[in-house]
Every structure is written in structure tokens, then in C-alpha cells.
Amino acid sequence: MSQPTGLPPKPRPRLDGPERPFWLGLREREIRVQRCTACGHRRFPASRFCPECHSDAFAWEAVGATGTVETFCVFHKAYFPGFLGEMPYAVVQVRLDDGPRFFSNLVGTRPADIRPGQRVTAVFEDLDAEATVLKFKLIEGDAA
Amino acid sequence: MAQARAAVVGVGTTAYGRLPEYDAYDLGMWALTEALKDAGLGFADLDGIIVNRIPDYQRFCEIAGIDPSFVTITPGHGRFAAICIEMALQAVLSGRCRTVALVYGNNGRSAGAAYGGESDSYGSGGGAIWWPYGMTSPGAFHAMMMRSHMAQYGTKPEHLAELAMTFRDHAGLNPQAVMRKPFTLDDYMNARMIAEPLRLLDYCLINDGGVALIITTAEHARDCARPPVHIRGAALQTVFANSMFPPEDYWHGAVASVTGRSFREAGLGRDDMQALMIYDNFTPTVMFSLEGAGYCGRGESGPFVAEGHLRLGRRYPTNTSGGHLSESYMQGWALNVEAVRQLRGDCGDRQVSDAANVHYIAAAPVCSSIVYSRDPS
Ligand SMILES: [Zn+2]
């Protein structure tokens, strides 16, 4: 999704950081997070050591795309000029059914219609030829 | 400690507001000079110094012309006020230091400090990974918590309004406060939204200013100029696991823990407190603190605040200086000074009558509780 003309770009994901497998996974329409191969705990963002058992053995594995809106807030202040074209905008906190949590945006839902407890599923939004971000949309007919 | 073994013997504050001619070192020096004068001590009496938010401890001590035996510097996060006080307690109670100065200098307003956007470093290692979604700022983090609280317990914007109005009314009695003009519920509701459900009047005020405290043992405190204010109990509790996201319990568990431990140490309880100083970076933090510390039931802070209990003249006058919301955002430090001033009877129009014990609480990824008392036991 390109920016309306005249606006600076939004902050881009850092694709070459420790979360590189996550960003690459989004290109292939998968949500990949670290799974500790010692205790099974799933974690995101990335860390070399597991906070549960302190093992450094892990694999990046896909998790399910569905989850629940835990909470949200609506930005009326444009901390990032790249968002000026869509003020006010909502940021949701989603907990995937498989555990990991993400801050993200809901596609196709006005801020006034967001409620904690709503069921959501992943939307993979391509920013350009390299970067894809993880957004969510409401699961139809599953209003909380 | 049934019998208090440590005390605050000096407090010093600068003016607050826009002070562009002063950098953080100047503000720290101004506050420290006032605190030493207040204590009847000199720079040479300090054998420990803990610097907060001032950029460099060596330069600060060079400017102060002092060579204490102990020095350290801590991050400019509000949670560190209580951590620094805890360090000072450990230093004097162990006998490793005799007199420790805590010095805070903040030129955030003149320096253009920002708490959101590309300079945001709040939280667990900073949240840059969430910037592509527009998530940033400690205010938004607290807005998310407040939204949960509203959904779970029915807390309303009108409750936050009463809290903010209470502190503003207190600030009106404090000549040092930056924002003293009262506002109405309509003013609150019409204030600009920042991170909804939080409005401008739910946010603290970034300003320039400095604060200093002098802490020594109860024994040495007797030789100082002013009556000592005793630190009867203190406790810290971190909440770092999974702290990338807001705590599901609104920090209730940790606030309950620090309150319980510090009250046991003091041999005092909620009923013994005549005033509360509650870290108010944003209005919701005060709500969560009241619930965690047990001044009201969990989830009941909205109606509790709306009943007016935090106002001067009522049961638990809170943030009598105006707090961070209306006096100035001095990151916990000025609230600790206000506790001392209340217990000394120095608060003029905003004095709590017969104040004997004051409870400082901060709810954050490091929760803290400090019990200050006029009497040593
Ligand atoms: Zn593990």
C-alpha cells in the first residue's frame, strides 16, 4: 500500500535485524515466531535465550493466524508524520491463539467499532517489494 | 524497622517551568545547594552521591567540587526515584556511607524531550519494532491499559477527569506549581485527545527543574538544622517478564507486594496515612496504584476517586503539590519532597492538618512504596 503523495513514508520494519525470519515469513503469508526447542515456549520479538528455560536452542516456526483483540488505543497525535493521512488511527494489541502478542492495526474496521475481545485473523500487507507487515481483520460473524 | 534508622534531613527544589538558561547540571546544583542549606550541611559533609537524569556524574561532582567516597548514576526514568532512595537507605543503614545526596536535574522542556515517535525509548528495550503500525509512546501504553480497565470494570473518563481536576485544584494552592488554573469537567472532556481514551489533561507536564534530597542515619539526623523526616519502610518490586505489553493485572500484584512489605517494616497501615503521593505520569497510573495498595477495591478506583477522597480536607489527600499532572513532571522526585514538606508542616495553604505519615507509591515496571513519618517509631 503506497503512501498518499506528499506524505513522508511510515517507519519501515528493520528487515535485517534479529526478527528477519519473521519478516521473511510474512512474505510467504506465515506468522513465524521463535519456538524454544527445549521447553516449547513461543516468543516474539526475538531473543537468543528462552526467558522460560534459558535454552538457546530454537526454531522459527509458523503459528496459527487467529487471535483476539486484548485492548487498543486511538492515536489523535501524529508522532510519525507518515500517519498524517489516516488520523485518527487505532493500534490494537492482539494475542494469537498460539500465544504470542503483537501490536498492530485492524484493516477495514473504524476505530469506533473496535472492542476488546473481538476475534481477528491475520492480514499480510505488502509495503513494497521487500517488506510485508502483519495486520489483522475481524472474523466475520464472530463479533464479541 | 520498628524504630526508623534513616531519615531525610534536607530537601531542595528549583523553580519549575521553562528555564532555558539552565542545563541539567545547573538545575541539579541549584537543588543540591538548597537541600544542603535546608539540612544545615555543607558539600564536604557528603560521602555519597546518587545522580539521576543529569548526563554525567563526573562532571556533576567536578562542578560541585566534591569527592564523595561513593557515587553512581541512574537512568532518567521515573521509577528510579524510589530505586535511588533505596540505594541511599542501603548505603547509610549498612554504615558504608554517612550522608548521601540524591540529585535530579531535568532540562527536558528546554531540550525538547519527546516521549513518542522516532526518539521513543520507553518500555522493554524500546518499541521500534512496532513503529510501522504507529505504536509509540508511554502515553499510548497507558491508554491501552486504561481501555482494558474501562472494558473490565466500567471506569469512565469522568473518573479520570475528577482525578486531574483534584490535582489541579491542589496545584492552585502551591505557588511552585506550573499549572494552577482550575478546569471543569467540560474543559477536561473537550481537551485534545492524544492517545484515546487519554486526553491532554491526563498527561504529565514536561518541564525544566531540579530536586535534591539528603538522607542520613537517624542518629546523624539529630544534628541537622530541621526536624528529620523518617523513612520507616521502603520496598521495590520489578515487573519485567513479558513487559513488552501492558501487565494484565495493572501492576496490582507488585503494588500490593511493595505496600505490604513497606507497611510491615514501618509497623503502620493504610489507616495510619494522612496523605498519599502517587506517581502520576498519566491519570490511569494513579487509579492502578490506589487499587494495588488497597485504598479501594480492585476495579473500584473510578467511583472511589469520583467520591472525592483524594481532595485536601478529605480522607486521603493525594498529590497535594499538584503532582506531575499540575506541579511539574519531576519523575517522582518532587512527590517525595512533598511528602517530607507535609510531614514538616511546611506546606502553607495546602498543608494536611496533623500529618504524621505519608505513603509514596509508584506503579511502573519497577513498583515502589515508601512510608515517611514525622515520628521515628
Ligand atoms: Zn525454553
Q: What separation in Å is there between the alpha carbon of A102 and the centre of ligand 1?
A: 20
**Domain locations along chain A:** 14-63, 64-144
Those residues whose C-beta lies under 8 Å from the C-beta of residue B235, and which sit 6 or more positions away, are B257, B258, B259, B260, B261, B262, B265, B368, B369
Q: Between A and B, how many residue pairs show a Cβ–Cβ distance under 8 A? A: 93
Nine cell digits for residue B12 = 531542595
Q: What is the pLDDT of residues B36-54, one digit of tens each?
A: 999 999 999 999 999 999 9
What's the pLDDT score for residue B349? 98
CA separation for the pair A36, A34 (Å, rounded):
6
Share of chain B above pLDDT 70, in %: 98
Closest approach of A118 to chain B, Cα-based (Å)? 12
The three-class DSSP label of residue B282 is: strand
Q: Which domains does chain B have, with CATH numbers?
A: 1-113+206-226 (3.40.47.10), 138-199+230-377 (3.40.47.10)
Residue B370 pLDDT level (bands cut at 50, 70, 90): very high
The verdict on a CB contact (< 8 Å) between A133 and B132 is yes
Mutation target for A interface from B115, B124, B135, B155: give the one with most A CBs within 10 A. Answer: B135
Check if A118 contacts B (Cβ < 8 Å): no
What is the model's pLDDT at position B113? 84
Mean pLDDT lowest among A140-144, B216-220, B301-305: A140-144
> CA of A128, closest CA in chain B: separation in Å?
13
Q: What average pLDDT does chain B have? A: 96
The residue of chain B with its CA nearest to that of A45 is B129
Average pLDDT over residues B245-257: 97
pLDDT reported for residue B125: 66
Sorted by sequence, the CB contacts under 8 Å of residue B242 that are 6+ apart come out as: none
Centre of ligand 1 to C-alpha B47, Å, is: 45
Flag if A103 and B135 touch (Cβ within 8 Å): yes
Average pLDDT over residues B22-27: 98
Q: Give me the mean pLDDT over the B294-312 stretch.
A: 98
- What pLDDT, on the 0 to 100 scale, is given for residue B1? 45
- Cell 556511607, located at residue: B97
User: What percent of chain A has a predicted confidence (pLDDT) above 70?
Assistant: 95
Q: How far is A103 from chain B (nearest CA, A)?
A: 6
Report the pLDDT value the prediction gives residue A38, as an integer from 0 to 100: 98
b/e for B314-342, b at 16 or more Cβ within 10 A? Answer: eebbbbbbbbbbbbbbbbbbbbbbbbbbb
Confidence of residue A110 (pLDDT cuts 50, 70, 90): very high
**Average pLDDT taken over every residue of chain A:** 94
Position B114 scores a pLDDT of 82
Q: A3 in contact with B at a CB cutoff of 8 Å?
A: no
C-alpha cell at A55: 535454552
Q: Is B269 helix (H, G, I), strand (E, B) or coil?
A: coil
Maximum separation of any 2 CA atoms in chain B, in Å:
58
Nearest CA in chain B to A111: B196
pLDDT at A52 over 80: yes
Which pLDDT score, from 0 to 100, does residue B57 have? Answer: 97
Mean pLDDT of B272-286: 98
Flag whether pLDDT at B123 surpasses 90: no
Each residue's pLDDT tens digit, B139-198: 999 999 999 999 999 999 999 999 999 999 999 999 999 999 999 999 999 999 999 999
Nearest-CB residue to B132 (from A10, A77, A89): A10
Model pLDDT, residue A142: 61
CB interface of A with B, residues 16-75, below 8 Å: 19, 45, 51, 70-75
Q: Does domain A64-144 have CATH number 3.30.70.260?
A: no
Could you tell me where the DSSP H helices lie in chain B? 24-39, 57-64, 80-93, 108-111, 138-153, 157-171, 185-190, 218-221, 252-266, 283-293, 301-306, 323-326, 333-344
- Crossing angle of helices B252-266 and B283-293, in 10° steps, is 60
Spacing, Cα B206 to ligand 1 middle (Å): 41
Burial B228-265 (b: 16+ CB within 10 A, else e): bbbbbbbbbbebeeeebbbbeebbbebbbbbbbbbbeb
Mean pLDDT of the region A72-97: 97
- Inspect the interface and report whether the beta carbons of A71 and B133 lie closer than 8 Å: no
* Cβ <8 Å between B198 and A89: no
Is the pLDDT at A1 greater than 80? The verdict is: no
Neighboring chain A residues of B143 at a CB cutoff of 8 Å: 73
Q: Inform me whether the pLDDT recorded for A141 exceeds 90.
A: no
